[in-house]
Structure 1
Amino acid sequence: MDWESPKLLILALPALALLLWIENRSVHPMEGLRKRLLLVVRTLGLLLALLALAGPARVAQTGKKALGIVLDASQSLGEEGRREALKEAREMQGRLGMGTESFIVMLGDEPALLPDVPEKDQEAALGEFQQAHGGDSQYSAAIEYAQALFPAGASRDIVMIGDGHETRGSLIETAQDASLAGVRLHARALAGPKKPDARVLDLVPSRSRLNEGATLKLTAHLESTLNTEGMLKLYENGIQVEQRPVTLQAGQSLTETFTRTPNERNIFKYRAVLEGITADTLPANNSALTLVDVRGRLRLLYLDSEPAEAQYLQQAMEKEGIELDLRQPGNIPASLEQLAGYDGIILSDVSAHRLGEGTMNAMRDYVDKLGGGFLMLGGPNSFALGGFYKTPIDDLLPVRLKAPDEEEKQSAAVAIVMDRSGSMAGEKLEMAKSASIATAEVLGRNDFIGVYAFDSEAHVVVPMTRLTSTAAVAGQIAAVASGGGTNLQPAFEQARDALRRVKAKVKHMIILTDGQTSGSGYESMASQCRGEGITISTVSIGEGSHVALLQAIASSGGGQSYTTLDASGITRIFTQDTLMHTGRMLREDPFLPQLVEKHAMLAGFEPWNSPDLLGYVKTIRKATAQVPLVTDAGDPLLAHWRYGLGKVTAFTSDAKSRWAGLWIARWPDFNCFWSQVLRETARPPQGRHMDLAVEMQGDRALMHVDLQEDAGTRANDARVQAEVFFVAADSLGAPLKSVQNLLLGQTGPGLYEGHFRPDQPGVYLVRAQSGAEMVSAGVVHNPSNEASLGTVNEGLLKKATQLTQGQILKAGELPDLSQTSAVQYIELWPPLVLALLLLFLADVAIRRWEHVQGIWEVIRDLLLKKAKKPSGST
């Protein structure tokens, strides 16, 4: 007898007590016998209901037998071994009695059922399986698959036919689970032919974690079935760093040790590859992987378009023990995985359109999700002047990229001359219209804007007008449609005339086109405009634009010339150029910073005693930001806040000779100031209160996280997430790709665990995170370890069979199926429910006995009338 939920039977006593209480309180006018009979029926019904819910089942012995055959179809068995194994399996099936069911499961890197077809077709199916899935031997997966195929109520015996050389999973663990489930494992040891094969068993590092500059030893273990020579190569992050000739002897293992000194903090991926073995029949097992976590000092990514000027800050931080990895536009890490190796990012005087939308999104996610630090320094290409208005970086910053209110009193006039020819149709024109609308948004109510489109003719989209309603201007711009031809000159002249007539302090024109234009005398017109106080900037989009002409116009007009192949960057270019040439965002006058708020990054700087700074970019403080330093005009100079899991700092002046020349030359605390700012902004050292270990157990990668609130307190009930990244074995230089997100479960005080299954050879990096704490660890899933050794792993097969009380079979021998009990569970709740239904009808009959009597009398009268009716009457 077995029960599904036996604890429900405990409810019988309180349920009966409740039934008696209800019966005693009942005022139904019923005679004593009926009342007692009703109580008995209801008591039986209540007990039957609880019995049915408890799920009883009768365990019955059956004589039904079943045999599952797991057939090794991996490459180690080879074609000859595969045929012999299939022959053995079919002979076993042939000697089974008519009442015994059987099936064959193919074993490789994943299991599959061998179809029940003629022997010739089965051999072909096995060959196809070996080609597709013979790169590994997962005995454990095949056993689990076979267990699911047994029919109900039959004995369960499994015969493994193969060499027992498993390369994935754990047969012993699976055998232990099978024993608990009443499954017996038997083995028919069968070796494949010994073939020429050389392989790399593994690559083992002396340490899985070390500090940069430390010595690392990597040991490769090799073995071979033939006497041969080859070349062993070592790859570091996809780049070959060493190679050496090796001589292999049949049946003997060889050990080769490489020495490396990783000189930067990163996750280093190493791969050992054996090449040049011409007679090798299994080249898939000629490489092995490993992973090493190199840790070091504080390291920040420093992005600056002027390397010579960036040296001031870089050299100063070198003395403070902070490494700044200086990069220029065109060589900027653009993915979240590449940024994750840094403790912070410094963005200095690099405009938004040179970064690109993807890079800016990655930077925002780096701060928000990974807890990284971010510092923006001022300059002519920073903040609003760099086109960061309404970009992902704008969201990050603790300051608003708008001019202070008093600056809006100085009016400016902007004329946009936009190409609307046929080549601009589609995305280009839509982006140009969006850029024009964004330009209107960054201008103030005292400013003027005019928009002029051209194809073969000029078209006034928005006449030069004071910007009282951005929505009205946006509606007019949105109605622009593409036309035909390209002639810039008429629209150029219209925009020039409009700017000459308007009364504004600053007058600026932006010209956008993607093609060649007719007309002439543009450089002369631009020079005349400059003499009239009108500056001109040009934007060329696409490869077909007349770049030389546009650059000449911008040079003669005193503006900037921009070139882009990405239409989505036009908006940032327009806003950057507008804010730059309207002049209200930039102030280049000496001023003395003022300390107005206490902050940890300025500890020891009271009273403030620095020299003057020579300029800054104007911004407005965001509501929740801290602003310890301001300018003499009260504008933010140093602002700081938290964004997501990270910290963000804005310094609206620079750290170069343009504005900070006096700081560099005369201020002895220059190094200390920037060291404190960077250390306070950067991501805190990882692993202080969190540790992560990843290990392979069978075919699963287990993750163990040890989390603390502080040095002496375990962190319980925390939300611990793990993200798994992957890079393939043959492309270790490629960026890591996110493949899975997991939520780890708590298994003990401060202990959290989870697992995933690596399914492809390569490197798996796990990044665990809880709040601002984050730590990384890795595990490798090596390429195939299949080998044509011509031997049998007798120890593994013997242990697996002993755990399940199985047998080691000889050729032509069948397992004793009578030793395995076959049981069948017969559910008992259906008859209980039927009895409960009958009791319900009895309950109704007792409660409505008068109605039952009336129905009986009606039936009796009908029977009597029928009996008295004369025969033959109608």
Structure 2
Amino acid sequence: MDWQYPYLLLLIIPALAFLVWAERKSAHPMPASRKRMLLIVRALGVILALAALAGPAKVITSNRRAVVVAVDVSQSLGPEGVKTALQKADSLRASLPGDTEVFNVAFGDETRLLNEPELKDPAAESLAEMQKNHGAQSRYAAAVEYARALFPAGTSRHVVLIGDGHETRGNLVEAARGAALAEVQVHAVPVAGPRKPDVRVRQLVPSQSRLHEGAALKLTVDIESTMDGSGSLKLFENGVEVERRNVSVKAGQALQELFTRHPATRNIYKYRAVLEGFAGDAIPANNEALTLVDVRGRLRLLFVEGDANEAQYLMQAMEKEGIQLELRAPGTIPASPQELSGYDGVILSDVPAHKLGENTMVAIRDYVDKLGGGFIMLGGPNSFGVGGYFRTPIEEVLPVRLKAPDEEEKQSSALALVIDRSGSMSGEKLEMAKSAAIATAEVLTRNDSIGVYAFDSELHVVVPMTRLSSAAAVAGQIAGLTSGGGTNAYPAMSEARNALQRVKAKIKHMILLTDGQTSGTGYESLASQCRAEGMTISTVAIGDGAHVGLLQAIASLGGGQSYTTLDASNITRIFTQDTLIHTGRMIREDAFTPAMSERHPILAGWDKFEPPPLLGYVKTLRKSTAQVPLVTDLGDPLLAHWRFGLGKATAFTSDAKSRWASLWISRWNGFGQFWSQVLRETARPPQGQNMDLRCEMVGDEAKVSVDVLTDAGTRGNEARVTAEVFFVSAESLGAPLKPVQALTLRQSGPGLYAGDFKPEQAGVYLVRAQSGAQMVTAGLVHNPSGEQSLGTVNEPLLREVTQMTGGTYLNQDTKLDLGSAKARRYFELWPTLVIALLCLFIIDAIVRRWEHVTGIWDMAFGGLKSATKTKTAL
């Protein structure tokens, strides 16, 4: 006896206890004897119901045995190998006990039963025809599945595979796992075909399965051979021969040929590589391979360059690579993610943050995060930390942190902030000035000193010049600054100068911020004196009322920068940018040679990355989850990459123009290829923004998987996802795609939808999935043949399968020992229990309605007795 769900039997006791409790609580005016009888009937009914649900079965054992002998008749064995396999099959059948049921099958691309004449005549014409027409593949897994369907019930089951074990379709290991669960033992008899002269195309692999029009596509053809010879290799594009080259092969040596194409228009491109002209090739069916490439519109990126005259180098190089760069000035960038969505990526090159503005930076962040766009930042004196991007939305996107490496913090700096607190600065201006001062304190280190001096008509020392031991303490003092009074910057600047003179620091810098016309004189002289004493002064003018001419003169004489802004929210960016520039930590302008630190698709094709030196870069620190394929000679990040939300972001801390990359532009042939790969790897892939489609062969079936997102962090559940499958034959790749099947994908996980179909013919299959307005495509190649005449046996695979199922690997002897294991057959008992339960239900009704039963009895049989008496009296 066996039970499918034995744990259900544990419910019998609480169910019986409930029946007893219910019987005692019952107030039905029924005699006690009937109540007891009803309780017994119902208890038996509950026991029978739970026993039926538990799935009882009677185990019946027998000594019957069944064996399926499966012979490989694929082209890899050849007629000689098939003859040997059939002879071994005959020897194996002769060794079996006489009461064994034996089934004989042959398999290649398909599996079928062998009849008696074919068993007696290995040279039968039907076998030769099967090898010719259906021997282009070896489907071992399909043979095992076919064999399992032949076994009669109540027999011990054995499958004997006779062949070389070189499967070309399906998954024998997965089929063996299913066989083991079904108690089927798989045995193997190795038979190798003759080693014949054979040259074949093992695979045709594209560098990308999806790309933009005009992009360089590399197609790699892998060729194997068991013979020496010469012939030609042809490449067909959509059925048209586009390239032919002469190739020579040597036995046992793999050959790899590389083709480069530039698909010019948007289309589904079908490629076929064909070998021809090899004399003595034994298996011509394996001389070709297919692949599919989805070509979308040309890659289009928004290029924002701080100096428009320097944009030509990258734009000209990318034009040759088929990438369109649209040059924009910093003030003309779209300020919403929706407007940016028309581009596949955004490049910022040497653009300070204050020229972008907060809204544009937020739009870029959301474009990458939620719309899957690409973002690339190039270095320069106005980029990364020195561009004022510290604590901005752009810093969130970047794979690097915008602070100087720790070893540079040993260089002490002193910074004096001179801030206008006059009445005109009240409100947003002063609040933003205080935020800027606090942010500036945060970018400094403990080795630095800071002082904050405010002015109206008089000097107000907010933070005396002091070592920055606690940024929080300085922030608290700055937060108490209020507005009021007139405008006279000279006393505050003079006090800041005196404080900088007293402090010991290698770098001394002053920043002056004002929004009005300052009174007093002597500013130019003061700036000149500061410069002579080793101090620098930068100025920031806010609004239309500032004395811009005077501030520019002060900055020029003081050796600093002059900034003008109408937006108070830019003050923080300007302060942090200017501080990092003048404290000298963030930029290194020395020649260095980049070094490859880790493998990455961006550097595909470069086993050794040996470009000319670069002449400078902006210092940053890598974020913990970022990849850094290239570093500087000091180990600082040069090229960093990571995913951000749905999109990708790349940081290149040097530049792509004449300041730091002049040697790359003038001396390196790989300049265009390098930047093409950087942009293509970072740009939004040519597919749906919130959908991704994958197709892969699992056994004989093609599995279709679609990921659906509603935004960067939310998976799309309960969506309606459909897919269409199109096909074009291997013999007519130039023909249009023909629809063959429509699928409704079922949800198999959070945001994951799956379906499958079975490719029947050799050729190219295109799957197009759709959910709402989103649509994605992916290709699947079903190559014509994978057969090869190696003259070897795939012993590791056959041994693994036999060990997994408890079978035998018959390497020397073809005598199969079936063992003494008895076959088990299960006789289901639940139907009998259900019939008994129905009978108990009728008995229950009789007991509960006994008065009705007796009344019906009296009506039926009482009337009959009266009629009998009357007849007797007459």
For the residue of structure 2 that corresponds to 1:795, the secondary structure is: helix
User: What is the root-mean-square deviation of aligned Cα atoms in Å?
Assistant: 3.6
CA distance in 2, matches of 1:52, 1:154: 26
Q: 1:782 corresponds to which residue?
A: 783
- Report if aligned partners of 2:294, 2:778 keep a CA contact under 8 Å in 1: yes
Contact 2:91 2:814 (8 Å CA) reproduced: no
Q: How far apart in 1 are the matches of 2:805 and 2:739?
A: 40
Could you tell me which residue of structure 1 aligns to residue 798 of structure 2? 797
> Paired residue for 1:407?
none
Q: For residues 711 and 855 of structure 1, do their structure 2 counterparts lie closer, same or farther at Cα, with a shift above 3 Å needed?
A: closer
The amino acid that maps onto 1:33 is S
Q: Distance in 2 between matches of 1:685 and 1:244?
A: 32
- Residue 815 of structure 1 deviates from its aligned partner by 3.2
Secondary structure of 2:91 counterpart: helix
Which SS does the other structure have where 2:156 is aligned? coil
Other-structure match for 1:186? 187
Look up the match of 1:73: 73
Deviates more, 1:811-820 or 1:719-728: 811-820
User: 1:55-94, CA deviations, whole angstroms, 9 ceiling, x for partnerless residues?
Assistant: 2113344322222211101111111221221121122222
Mapping of 1:119-138 within 5 angstroms? Answer: 119-120=119-120, 123-138=124-139
Matched-pair contact (CA < 8 Å) for 1:226–1:250: yes
Say which SS state the counterpart of residue 818 (structure 1) adopts. coil
Tell me, yes or no, if structure 1 residue 147 matches structure 2 residue 155.
no
1:177 counterpart = 2:178: yes
Deviations 1:229-265 (A, max 9, x none): 1111000111111001111222322221111122222
| Residue pair 1:111, 1:145 contacting (<8 A) in 2 also | yes
> What letter corresponds to residue 103 of structure 1 in structure 2?
F
**Which amino acid in 1 is paired with 2:221?**
A
Give how far 1:213 is off.
2.1
**1:241 partner SS:** strand
Shift of 1:798: 1.7
Is residue 104–residue 114 contact of structure 1 (8 Å, CA) maintained in 2? yes
Q: Which residue matches 2:613?
A: none
Counterpart in 2 of 1:310? none
Mapped contact 1:157–1:820 kept (Cα < 8 A): no
Displacement of 1:760 in angstroms is 0.9
Please give the TM-score of this superposition, normalised by the length of structure 1. 0.51
Q: Which moved more, 1:164-173 or 1:149-158?
A: 149-158
Determine helix, strand or coil for the equivalent of 1:688.
Answer: coil
- The Cα shift of 1:855 comes to 9.5
1-side partners of 2:726 and 2:7: how far apart? 45
AA aligned to 2:48 is L
1:804-848: CA deviation from partner (whole Å, max 9, x where unpaired):
232210354333322756222122224434544664676577678
Counterpart CA distance in 2 for 1:71 and 1:127 is 13
SS of equivalent residue, structure 1 residue 706: strand
CA-CA distance at 1:219 after TM superposition: 1.3
Aligned residues: 483
Tell me if structure 1 keeps the 8 A contact 2:213–2:296: yes
Specify the code of the residue in structure 2 equivalent to 1:719. Answer: R
SS of residue paired to 1:48: helix
1:22 to 1:175, Cα distance in 2 relative to 1, 3 A = same
Distance 1:845 1:722, change over 3 A: closer
Cα distance, 1:38 vs structure 2: 3.0
Q: Following the alignment from structure 1 to structure 2, what is the Cα–Cα distance between the partners of residues 4 and 786?
A: 45
- AA in 1 matched with 2:63: G
SS of the aligned residue for 1:96 comes to: coil
What is the identity, as a one-letter code, of the residue corresponding to 1:283?
Answer: P
Q: How does 1:292-331 map to 2 (within 5 A)?
A: 292-297=293-298
User: How far apart in 1 are the matches of 2:181 and 2:110?
Assistant: 24
In structure 2, what is the equivalent of residue 228 of structure 1? 229
Match of 1:210 in 2: 211
Alignment of 1:664-679 (within 5 A): none
Determine if contact 2:269/2:292 at 8 Å carries over to the other structure.
yes
Q: 1: CA distance between counterparts of 2:233 and 2:80?
A: 31
The aligned counterpart of 1:83 is 83
1:518-552 Cα shifts (integer Å, max 9, x gaps): xxxxxxxxxxxxxxxxxxxxxxxxxxxxxxxxxxx
Cα displacement (A) at 1:688: 1.3
Instruction: Note closer, same or farther for the CA distance 1:685–1:230 as it changes in structure 2 (3 Å cut).
Output: closer
Aligned partner of 2:351 in structure 1 is none
User: Partner of 2:819: helix, strand, or coil?
Assistant: helix
Query: Could you say what secondary structure the match of 2:47 adopts?
Result: helix
Does the 8 Å contact 2:298/2:324 carry over to 1?
Answer: no
**Distance (whole Å) between structure 1 residues aligned to residue 694 and residue 80 of structure 2:** 43
- Quote the Cα distance in structure 2 between the aligned partners of 1:130 and 1:727: 25
Counterpart for residue 774 of structure 2 = 773
1:279 aligns with: 280
Deviation, structure 1 residue 50:
3.1
Contact 1:9/1:54 (CA < 8 Å) preserved in 2?
yes
**How far apart, in 1, do the equivalents of 2:689 and 2:252 lie?**
47
Q: CA deviation at 1:29?
A: 6.0
Aligned counterparts of 1:832 and 1:226: Cα–Cα separation in 2: 70
Partner SS, residue 156 of structure 1: strand
User: Residues 3 and 249 (structure 1 numbering): CA distance in 2 closer, same or farther, change over 3 Å?
Assistant: same
Deviation at 1:32, TM superposition (A): 2.3
Secondary structure of the 2:798 match is: helix
Q: Deviations 1:644-666 (Å, cap 9, x if unpaired)?
A: xxxxxxxxxxxxxxxxxxxxxxx
SS, match of residue 744 in structure 1:
strand
**1:634 counterpart residue number:** none
Equivalent residue, structure 2, for 1:611 = none
Alignment of 1:662-811 (within 5 A): 686-811=687-812
SS in 1 for 2:265: coil
Distance in 2, matches of 1:736 and 1:756, equals 17
Report what 2:160 is aligned to: 159
SS in 1 for 2:173: helix
Unpaired runs of at least 5, structure 2: 301-321, 327-342, 344-684, 862-874
DSSP-derived class of the 2:219 partner: strand
CA–CA separation in structure 2 for the residues paired with 1:232 and 1:813: 44
1: CA distance, partners of 2:179 / 2:49: 35
Give the Cα separation in 2 of the matches to 1:773 and 1:848. Answer: 66
Cα gap change, 1:249 to 1:687, in 2 (>3 Å): same
**CA positional deviation for 1:11:** 6.4
The 1-side partners of 2:855 and 2:297 are apart by 95
C-alpha spacing 1:819/1:743, structure 2 compared with 1 (3 Å): farther
Structure 2 contact 212–686 (Cα < 8 Å) conserved: no
Q: Which amino acid aligns with 1:266?
A: N
1:135 CA drift (Å): 1.4
Q: CA deviation at 1:701?
A: 1.9
Change beyond 3 A, Cα 1:819–1:774: farther
> Using the alignment, how far apart are the partners of 1:820 and 1:780 within structure 2?
45
Q: Is the 8 A contact 1:88 1:812 kept in 2?
A: no
1:658 aligns with none
Checking the alignment, whether the CA contact within 8 Å between 1:184 and 1:820 is kept in structure 2 is no
Q: For 1:229 and 1:35, how far apart are their aligned partners in 2?
A: 97
2:31 aligned residue: 31
Percent identical residues = 58
Query: 5+ residue gaps in structure 1?
Result: 300-317, 323-342, 344-683, 860-874
1:557-572 aligned within 5 A: none
Give CA-to-partner distance per residue, 1:74-128, whole Å, 9 cap, x none: 1111112212211211222222112322212211112122235573367444334
Tell me the amino acid that sits aligned with residue 281 of structure 1.
Answer: A
Residue deviations 1:613-665 (CA, integer Å, cap 9, x gap): xxxxxxxxxxxxxxxxxxxxxxxxxxxxxxxxxxxxxxxxxxxxxxxxxxxxx
Q: Residues 23 and 767 from structure 1, CA distance in 2 versus in 1: closer, same or farther, beyond 3 angstroms?
A: same
Residue deviations 1:730-784 (CA, integer Å, cap 9, x gap): 1111100111111222232222222222111111111111000001111111111
Q: Is the 8 A contact 2:298 2:323 kept in 1?
A: no
- SS in structure 1 of the partner of residue 278 of structure 2: coil
Change (3 A) 1:855 1:698: closer
Change (3 A) 1:279 1:815: same
Equivalent positions of 1:168-567 (< 5 A) are: 168-297=169-298
Classify 1:834/1:253 alpha carbon distance in 2 versus 1 (closer, same or farther; 3 Å): same
Pair 1:742–1:840, CA change in 2 (3 A): closer
Once the two structures are superposed, the pairs formed by residues 601-616 of structure 1 within 5 Å of their partners are: none
Find the counterpart in structure 2 of residue 51 from structure 1. 51
What do residues 126-175 of structure 1 show as CA deviations (whole Å, max 9, x unaligned)? 33432332111010111111112112222222111001111111112222
